[in-house]
Amino acid sequence: MPLPETMFCAQQINIPPELPDLLKQFTKAAIRTQPRDVLQWSAAYFSTLSRGETLPVKDRVEVPAATQRTDTGLTPGLLRVLHKQLSAQVLVDAEELGEKWSSLCIPRAQLQSILELGHFGREVDWMKFLALGCSSLGGSISTALKHACDILTQDPEGGAARIPFQTFVFLYKYLTQVDGDIPEAQIEEALGALQAEAEKQAGMIQPRNFLSALCPPLS
């Protein structure tokens, strides 16, 4: 004999008062982030939310850059999310990086490629990884450094995207080291010219300085 169908009235159903806002914020986050795998990303979203950690959410919907390779899932917006989640650590555990990477639904093959290029082991120097991540987006060293400025700057969106000159020097020298084909004299000439610009800007540098036709070529 079938069990009688349970009947509920509105007074019997208790809806947590925070549920509508939680679902609203989740929906907005999904729209901004546009994850490739909604279920995988959703699991990471609520797991991260329950731990009070930085959410795997982009600041805004992202339009792919013209220089971005079509065979990559990594974007400047996703790299910015990873930076927010991991930059508090100078050295990041490779397993934790892998988990954050997967939660954003980025192909693991690209992560492995960057890790191998940087010769990283169980601990990953975050700033070096960021530099290689920016480089993997495609384009020249100048383009990679512009991405880095956009991610690292404390300026408001649409501002000058300034970063400390010493941070720029670290990123630039690391990328030239990985490249291996840029003459030392060329590197020093570019840095000398940019240091003069940085001294005019309280030790800061911005993309328009090294993208200018007046700046010696970076690569």
pLDDT above 80: residue 213: yes
Given 105, 138, 171, the domain boundary residue is 138
Instruction: Say if residue 87 is in the same domain as residue 153.
Output: no
27 domain-assigned: no
> What pLDDT, on a 0 to 100 scale, did the predictor assign at position 162?
97
Given 138, 169, 192, the domain boundary residue is 138
50 domain-assigned: no
> What pLDDT, on a 0 to 100 scale, did the predictor assign at position 15?
80
Given 86, 109, 138, the domain boundary residue is 138
pLDDT digits (tens, 9 = 90+) for 41-71: 999 999 999 999 999 999 999 876 554 454 5
Residue 133 belongs to domain spanning: 32-44+74-138
167 domain-assigned: yes
Instruction: Say if residue 154 is in the same domain as residue 201.
Output: yes
pLDDT digits (tens, 9 = 90+) for 98-154: 999 999 999 999 999 999 999 999 999 999 999 999 999 988 999 999 999 999 999
Structurally, how many domains does the chain consist of? 2
49 domain-assigned: no
pLDDT digits (tens, 9 = 90+) for 22-32: 999 999 999 99
Q: Which of 11-15, 69-73, 170-174 has the highest mean pLDDT?
A: 170-174
CA distance 113 to 178: 13
The pLDDT confidence band at residue 157, using thresholds 50, 70 and 90, is confident
